Structure 1
């Protein structure tokens, strides 16, 4: 079993607790691992984030050894939906979202051309939207290995505006990429709506409530580009152009599910890879189960793995139907463990070529319309993926991964695995908005009894 509530170094348990106030910015090299895990910290600011893409060519923000701890701050790319509540007074967020004529805190936003020669939206074109902190280089990680990412704790990032002390805010966007966009009942038939939610920063209340919403109106960015729709991340909003409605979702409270929508390692692909479609390297999986106490496993494709995390969420349901979760900034405490290829035989990680999630009670496989779309769709993959996804394909992939998982890790014959999948596994729609649509399969651990425990 690979689940845990504390850390290890060379098999010795080391309590890590839930505190982020450990020695900051510890530096190590790969020559000799220390006797005990080192705790590193990576703040989120204009110097430590990459916006909208994964890349094997990024310089690491930290170099760590297996079993080290890393506190990583993450910022939502939707913070400018209400800059007063989610950016103002926060120096880190202000450095990332800074945008004046001819000057942005983070110039590139997406994997597209820097000169915006395709769509004219801005540098990077918004071909990829998530603010990702990292990457983290894991010493001795090589292609064929697996890294285990334990999510030991998750905290919401409070508003830094003194007018909103003790509050956390997030944004849910019913966007043009949402499942509903071409199937509205009410006029206007195609519209983008932004709903701002409020949470208690202390965590004493595990509910989010809506405080207002507004319909997107064309916005002119500081460089003079008009955005008729939400087509570029981090756009400043001219509040004089919108009308807010505070009489919404009365008597409705949303359960808080703090988690990270996008986590993954660098794919072995030249150039930049759009952060939106998930794939074998992880990325934008958008599974709300990837929160405190969960573990994610990723197959390593490049030396050092180069792990990055972002797209923090306050709450989300399976499907993320209207386009987003409650997008809000979070800080996570992670422990990263390296499993060398030669040690994987006879474990649940044997032959792993997809992102696998584990909780105390469940194993969760992730299926996609295309298991490895960058390879499956060829040279035009990063465009083609948005035109050819389907739930049928994603379900087929989830089925095949669950079948292999049961046959490999539980030593079931194929007919046994098929029976178990039908009567004990739950398959659900992870998301239908990320280009490469997702279906997850959940198998409860409790169905497998140890000999003598029947």
Structure 2
């Protein structure tokens, strides 16, 4: 159905007006809540946001007088599959302060095409794959000619369907891009058989942390679990529909995939056994978020979408959802933001390999903070992706803070054999120490003590090549601090 994005629709003008009105209402709600939060800054002493009043004024001075709204659909023409690149042509150019709605598709929709692709023109264009044609040919950062493994163009060395990139006018290396997540909604199933529902896939796959620790036969095995989500917003939990064990799948080009080794391979359900009635009575709380939001790195022309790094990417933190704000260091002109890997829900660690991979649509406000305006502010020297919620600040540590630089020419292959939780924990500690010493002006000894008694560390993920640990500190810890 047209959502204000199909100019051939006979009711396009009405649908577009409804879309703009809904977006404007959401924007007003967001700005109202942000204003209320800012009003509480005095009570917290240290301020509710990393953006100081001076930074806000400087950023506002760079914005056009009128905010614009943009809509970026997910189609075969607007996505790049499995990689980031500073060479990609922008899909849209926006000004700082503008709002943009971005449609994102899960790269696991082919696990159940009937529920996650059928009847959806955008998804169908992306997932198109016949013996003669693929809607999106390159899937990953590997060679186009599949000369490494014979899997397909891109070799699956990078798996996420990323919508974008978005070019932010005026963005330059050294700046910081503030990304406010205004809204997140599931993409409704377009198949009339499943009206009002959305679906997602969880893959317990060969790259999962659990894979070599199975206790029941057959071993090893990969298992897909399909979950149902209420797309109307009435129900805030997901439930399992069925699961099946992966069997060798032959793609339309004739390549056999014994394991889940290439994204978008259509599963022939005549070759698998669907087990229904699983996880009876279990309700999974919905936590819609984006596993991937990131800017283009500068170090290589094509970068695998799987390992996260200093410009963000595949962080896989369930807290990166509605109401949260992310801060990213800009590495290339225009920032080149892309979003993808949408999740209905996930626990810390993403243990078995994926979350509930479910297509989502997000609305964002992008605000540019120029390098010249960052001196003496909490965002000065920010060289990693940082998350802010209404109540917490959170830093993301990785096994290698910038693996593309630290591991040299073979970084994109070596990262998969060199990661550890120990390294990620140390990086998270160092980033939190730096944050407290610079933002809160603590001594190193004060920061270390506070980290130990007031900071929570969690395992973000252990499946993305560059493993992640996050460090969380509550804002109200500083309630007694005076200006």
- TM above 0.5, yes or no, is yes
Structure 2 residue 343 is the aligned partner of structure 1 residue 313: yes
Structure 2 residue 273 is the aligned partner of structure 1 residue 243: yes
- For residue 144 of structure 1, give the secondary structure of its aligned residue in structure 2: coil
Structure 2 residue 393 is the aligned partner of structure 1 residue 363: yes
Structure 2 residue 218 is the aligned partner of structure 1 residue 188: yes
Question: Conserved in 2, the CA contact under 8 Å of 1:121 and 1:225?
Answer: yes
1:107 corresponding residue in structure 2: 137
> Distance in 2 between the 1:59 and 1:400 partners?
36
Question: Conserved in 2, the CA contact under 8 Å of 1:206 and 1:256?
Answer: yes
Per the TM alignment, residue 17 of structure 1 is displaced from its structure 2 partner at its CA by 3.0
2:14 corresponding residue in structure 1: none
Structure 2 residue 194 is the aligned partner of structure 1 residue 150: no
Give the one of 25, 44, 49 matched to 1:17. Answer: 25
Pairing 1:360-399 to 2, within 5 Å after superposition? 360-399=390-429
> Distance in 2 between the 1:130 and 1:393 partners?
25
Structure 2 residue 299 is the aligned partner of structure 1 residue 299: no
Question: Conserved in 1, the CA contact under 8 Å of 2:63 and 2:97?
Answer: no
Per the TM alignment, residue 451 of structure 1 is displaced from its structure 2 partner at its CA by 4.9
1:337 corresponding residue in structure 2: 367
Per the TM alignment, residue 342 of structure 1 is displaced from its structure 2 partner at its CA by 1.3
> Distance in 1 between the 2:107 and 2:430 partners?
34
Pairing 1:15-414 to 2, within 5 Å after superposition? 16-18=24-26, 34-414=64-444
1:430 corresponding residue in structure 2: 460
Question: Conserved in 1, the CA contact under 8 Å of 2:79 and 2:162?
Answer: yes
- For residue 18 of structure 1, give the secondary structure of its aligned residue in structure 2: helix
Question: Conserved in 2, the CA contact under 8 Å of 1:56 and 1:269?
Answer: no
> Distance in 1 between the 2:310 and 2:341 partners?
18
Using structure 1 for the length normalisation, give the TM-score.
0.93
Deviation per residue, 1:247-283 (Å, 9 max, x gap): 2101211000000000100000232100000000100
> Distance in 1 between the 2:378 and 2:473 partners?
13
Show structure 2 runs of 5+ residues with no match: 1-22, 29-61
Give the one of 437, 441, 449 matched to 2:471. Answer: 441
Greater than 3 Å deviation, 4+ residue runs: 450-453
Per the TM alignment, residue 188 of structure 1 is displaced from its structure 2 partner at its CA by 1.2
- For residue 353 of structure 1, give the secondary structure of its aligned residue in structure 2: coil
Question: Conserved in 2, the CA contact under 8 Å of 1:85 and 1:169?
Answer: yes
Per the TM alignment, residue 119 of structure 1 is displaced from its structure 2 partner at its CA by 0.4
> Distance in 1 between the 2:212 and 2:132 partners?
35
> Distance in 2 between the 1:102 and 1:429 partners?
43
Deviation per residue, 1:174-227 (Å, 9 max, x gap): 000000111100011211000000011111111000010000000000000000
Deviation per residue, 1:265-304 (Å, 9 max, x gap): 0000232100000000100000000000000100000010
Deviation per residue, 1:388-427 (Å, 9 max, x gap): 1000000000000000000000000001001110111000
Per the TM alignment, residue 350 of structure 1 is displaced from its structure 2 partner at its CA by 1.1
> Distance in 2 between the 1:345 and 1:425 partners?
26
Question: Conserved in 2, the CA contact under 8 Å of 1:74 and 1:310?
Answer: yes
Show structure 1 runs of 5+ residues with no match: 1-14, 21-31
Question: Please, which moves more after superposition, 221-230 or 340-349?
Answer: 340-349
CA RMSD of aligned residues (A): 1.4
Per the TM alignment, residue 140 of structure 1 is displaced from its structure 2 partner at its CA by 0.7
Question: Conserved in 2, the CA contact under 8 Å of 1:183 and 1:189?
Answer: no
Per the TM alignment, residue 348 of structure 1 is displaced from its structure 2 partner at its CA by 1.9
- For residue 252 of structure 2, give the secondary structure of its aligned residue in structure 1: coil
Using structure 2 for the length normalisation, give the TM-score.
0.87
- For residue 139 of structure 2, give the secondary structure of its aligned residue in structure 1: coil
Question: Conserved in 2, the CA contact under 8 Å of 1:133 and 1:308?
Answer: yes
